[in-house]
């Protein structure tokens, strides 16, 4: 039987931190003179108390190691539990969501998905929008830590390839986690501040700059405007493109840059492929739109760059109605979202690294057909990739596609139109943000979806964000017995 108390302790601590964070929107609402601040204080007290009680109750069990089983339970439990607490301020005051919508919104925040269940964002108290941004920012930070420290040891979807030396035993996870995390947090905070300053320099108000920097660096995509990023067309679109792209690059490389070594970032095959593939997508759509004489070159280039980077990185801001760009552009954007950014970033979906492995694996399989006696190894970044990694990546991709199919069926079951079900499944399993179809409201929200569809999407966002396998392992009865 697994000892769940260390898991309980960590979740208790994280819940308390989340409660503490609620004081930020409380202060902001107070500063703006919005009477709404009390809601956040109440929620903060409630959340901190619950977190503290949970931590205290499981305190004596904490050793400084986590078993592999405990790590699996922990990651999933964090992303199931925290949205409940994150949802509290959204229920207690404006926008007065019910549990389904509030949980959906908080899950969409903490998984950096960015789909909203709120039909009107413009009139919300500033604290509520800030809280949505904070949820994404915290979720983004959490996922980088999980991707860098937990997934490689948990060997999820080929992530064991990124296991660093002397970091194999799970006993070392926690101290090492603290060490890496502090470097990560510095970089993440630093980039966020840089993003705020750039946004302000380009004309955003202070509040809007903070809000959008929080959701840019987390590739989350929440906005405080129903019009999303269309509120700030022009230069901010280019600035956002750069910061979104940075947010989707491997943060471990930024740690190295901070130590003065730029080469690993520049030489990283997934970074190169990521930039190259985004370039292709931009080029295809720009040429396509120019041929269709839709607009002049420069605005086209800007709009396309912004929307391609936004979809490729899984941020999901909108600055244009891309469904009006013609079918080719739409298809390229949908497929971009199914690729995603780099590992150990805030980006989601299948990710560039896995496609590079998959393409190599297919090539090796085809070569094996005519020279069956040669040993053909898959290579990545100049070093051979173990078969177990290749298998893991292929199983991940297969599982991703099958889950996507099952999710489409599930969402259609709830009564959604095919287009809506397909894009809503895409947006939730790959944590992107937008969806299209007749059930989507004017501001792009899923407010009118059936309750069941919202719960299905909440589950899919969580499962997709944690790379599928690490959640699905929990439903095997044998997991709990071993």
Distance of closest approach, residue 466 Cβ to a copy of itself, in angstroms: 12
Q: Is 372 in the site for a copy of itself (CB under 8 A)?
A: yes
Q: Which is nearer to K ion, 25 or 316 (CB)?
A: 316
309 touches a copy of itself by CB under 8 A:
no
The dihedral built from the CA positions of residue 172, 175, 177 and 183, taken in this order, carries a sign that is negative
3-state secondary structure of 379: strand
Partnered with residue 384 across adjacent β-strands are: 379
Shortest reach from residue 83's CB to a copy of itself, in Å: 24
- For the record, the structure tokens of 21 come out as 């964070």
392 binds a copy of itself, rule: CB under 8 A: yes
Q: Is 346 annotated as a binding residue?
A: no
Q: Is 371 in the site for a copy of itself (CB under 8 A)?
A: yes
The answer to whether residue 366 forms part of the interface with a copy of itself (CB under 8 A) is yes
Q: Which does 408 bind (CB under 5 to 8 A by kind): K ion, a copy of itself, none?
A: a copy of itself
- Sign of the C-alpha dihedral, residues 463, 466, 467, 468? negative
What is the phi-psi region of residue 382: left when phi exceeds 0, alpha when psi lies from -120 to 50, beta otherwise?
left
75 is in an annotated binding site: no
Q: Does 424 bind a copy of itself (CB under 8 A)?
A: no
H or E stretch covering 267: helix 263-267
Do the beta carbons of residue 339 and residue 352 sit within 8 Å? yes
- Out of 74, 156, 204, 309, the only residue in the binding site for a copy of itself (CB under 8 A) is 156
Among a copy of itself, K ion, none, partner that 369 touches (CB below 5 to 8 angstroms by kind):
a copy of itself
- 290, 300 contact by CB (below 8 A): yes
Confirm whether residue 203 is marked as ligand binding.
no
- In the beta sheet, which residues pair with residue 143? none
Residue from 107, 118, 421, 460 in contact with a copy of itself (CB under 8 A)? 421
Helix axes of 173-201 and 126-145: crossing angle, nearest 10 degrees? 140
Partner interacting with residue 377 (select from a copy of itself, K ion, none; CB below 5-8 Å by kind): none
C-alpha 125: how far from chain center: 25
> Does residue 416 belong to the site contacting a copy of itself (CB under 8 A)?
yes
Confirm or deny that 431 is annotated as ligand binding. Answer: yes
Pairwise CA distance, residues 467 & 55, whole Å = 27
> Under the criterion CB under 8 A, does residue 177 sit at the interface with a copy of itself?
no
The residue within the footprint of a copy of itself, chosen from 34, 145, 304, 332 (CB under 8 A), is 332
The residue nearest K ion at its CB is 114
For residues 305-330, one letter each, b for 16 or more C-beta atoms within 10 angstroms of the residue's C-beta and e for the rest, the string is: bbbbbbbbbbbbbbbbebeebeeebb
Is residue 279 within the footprint of a copy of itself (CB under 8 A)? no
Integer angstrom CA distances of residue 460 from 123, 163, 445, 463: 29, 27, 17, 5
72 binds, among a copy of itself, K ion, none (CB under 5 to 8 A by kind): a copy of itself
How far is it, in rounded angstroms, from Cα 36 to Cα 183? 35
The yes or no reply on residue 68 touching a copy of itself (CB under 8 A) is: yes
Q: How many residues bind a copy of itself (CB under 8 A)?
A: 55
Q: Does 230 bind a copy of itself (CB under 8 A)?
A: no
Backbone angles phi, psi at 379, to 5 degrees: -115, 145
- The smaller minimum CB distance to a copy of itself, of residues 49 and 365, is found at 365
Contacts 24+ apart (CB under 8 A), 161-164: 161/353, 161/380, 161/385, 161/386, 161/389, 162/252, 162/343, 162/344
Residue from 118, 134, 173, 408 binding a copy of itself (CB under 8 A): 408
433 binds, among a copy of itself, K ion, none (CB under 5 to 8 A by kind): K ion
Cα–Cα dist 292/81, whole Å: 49
Q: How far is the CB of 336 from K ion (least distance, A)?
A: 13
Which residues are near K ion by CB under 5 A? 114, 221, 314, 316, 433
Contact between 333 and a copy of itself (CB under 8 A)? Answer: no
User: Is residue 315 annotated as involved in ligand binding?
Assistant: yes
- Is the backbone of residue 384 left (phi > 0), alpha (psi -120 to 50) or beta? beta
Binding site residues, as ranges?
Answer: 112-113, 220, 315, 431
Binding site residues for K(+), as ranges?
Answer: 112-113, 220, 315, 431
List contacts with a copy of itself (CB under 8 A).
Answer: 68-69, 72, 154-156, 327-328, 330-332, 335, 338, 358, 361-363, 365-372, 387, 390-392, 394-399, 401-402, 405, 408-409, 412-413, 415-418, 421, 469-470, 472-473, 476, 478-479, 482
């Amino acid at each position: 039987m697994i000892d769940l108390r260390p898991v309980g302790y960590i979740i208790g601590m994280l819940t308390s931190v989340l409660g503490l964070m609620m004081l930020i929107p409380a202060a902001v609402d107070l500063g703006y003179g919005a009477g709404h601040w009390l809601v956040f204080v109440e929620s903060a007290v409630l959340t901190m108390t619950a977190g503290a009680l949970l931590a205290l109750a499981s305190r004596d069990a904490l050793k400084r190691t986590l078993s592999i089983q405990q790590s699996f339970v922990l990651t999933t439990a964090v992303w199931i539990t925290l949205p409940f607490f994150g949802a509290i301020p959204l229920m207690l005051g404006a926008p007065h969501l019910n549990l389904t919508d509030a949980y959906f919104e908080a899950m969409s925040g903490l998984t950096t998905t960015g789909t909203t269940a709120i039909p009107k964002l413009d009139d919300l108290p500033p604290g509520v929008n800030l809280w949505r941004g904070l949820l994404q920012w915290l979720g983004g930070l959490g996922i980088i830590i999980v991707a860098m420290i937990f997934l490689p040891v948990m060997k999820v979807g080929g992530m064991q390839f990124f296991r660093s030396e002397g970091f194999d035993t799970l006993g070392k996870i926690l101290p090492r986690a603290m060490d890496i995390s502090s470097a990560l947090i510095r970089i993440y905070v630093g980039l966020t501040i840089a993003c705020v300053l750039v946004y302000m320099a380009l004309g955003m108000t202070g509040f809007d700059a903070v809000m959008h920097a929080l959701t840019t660096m987390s590739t989350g995509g929440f906005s405080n405007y129903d019009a999303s990023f269309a509120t700030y067309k022009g230069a901010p679109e280019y600035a956002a493109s750069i910061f979104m792209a940075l947010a989707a690059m491997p943060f471990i490389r930024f740690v190295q840059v901070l130590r003065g070594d730029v080469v690993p970032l520049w030489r990283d095959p997934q970074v190169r492929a990521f930039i190259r593939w985004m370039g292709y997508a931009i080029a295809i759509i720009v040429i396509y739109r120019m041929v269709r004489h839709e607009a002049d070159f420069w605005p086209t280039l800007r709009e396309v760059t912004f929307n391609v980077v936004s979809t490729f990185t899984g941020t999901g801001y909108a600055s244009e109605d891309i469904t009006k760009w013609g079918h080719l552009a739409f298809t390229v954007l949908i497929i971009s979202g199914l690729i995603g950014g780099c590992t150990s970033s805030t980006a989601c979906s299948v990710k560039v690294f896995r496609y590079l492995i998959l393409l190599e694996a297919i090539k090796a399989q085809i070569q094996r057909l005519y020279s069956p006696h040669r040993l053909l190894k898959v290579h990545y970044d100049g070093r051979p990739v173990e078969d177990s990694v290749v298998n893991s990546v292929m199983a991940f991709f297969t599982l991703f596609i099958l889950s996507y199919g099952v999710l489409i069926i599930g969402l259609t079951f709830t009564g959604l139109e095919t287009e809506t079900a397909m894009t809503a499944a895409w947006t939730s399993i790959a944590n992107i943000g937008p969806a299209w179809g007749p059930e989507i409201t004017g501001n792009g929200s899923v407010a009118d979806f059936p309750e069941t569809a919202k719960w299905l999407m909440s589950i899919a966002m969580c499962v997709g964000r944690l790379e599928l396998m690490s959640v699905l392992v929990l439903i095997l009865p044998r997991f709990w017995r071993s």
